[in-house]
Amino acid sequence: MARVTYVHHYYPALYFSILTFGFLADWFLRGQKQIVQYATYGVLYAVITGLYIFFIPICWGMTGPNKDYSYLKWFETWRMSD
C-alpha cells in the first residue's frame, strides 16, 4: 500500500517557518537604512504575492483536466497533477 501525504500534517511546520522567516527578515533589516528596509520588504511582498497567484489552484482547488496544472511540478518528486 502506498503512503498518502496529507497536507494538514505539514501545517504546524508551515506556521513555524512563516513566523520564523518574518522574524529573521525583521531582525536582519533592523539596523539598515529605511530605504533598504522598504525596498527589501517590497521585493518580499511581491515574491510572496506572485507565488500565491502562481500556486492559487492548490489553495482554491483544481478544476478541469490535470494536464492544465503540469506547470506546478517544479521537482520530479512533486505529485501535483499526476
In this structure, is residue 20 part of a structural domain? yes
**Is residue 75 assigned to a domain?**
no
Q: Nearest Cα to 29, choosing from 42, 48, 17?
A: 42
- Position 71 in a domain: no
- pLDDT tens by residue, 27-44: 999 999 999 999 999 999
Global model pTM greater than 0.85: no
Domain carrying residue 27: 8-62
Q: Is 82 inside a domain boundary?
A: no
The tally of domains found in the chain comes to 1
Amino acid letter for position 7:
V
Q: What is the pLDDT of residues 1-31, one digit of tens each?
A: 567 677 778 888 989 999 999 999 999 999 9
Burial class, 27, CB count within 10 angstroms (exposed 0-12 / middle 13-18 / buried 19+):
exposed
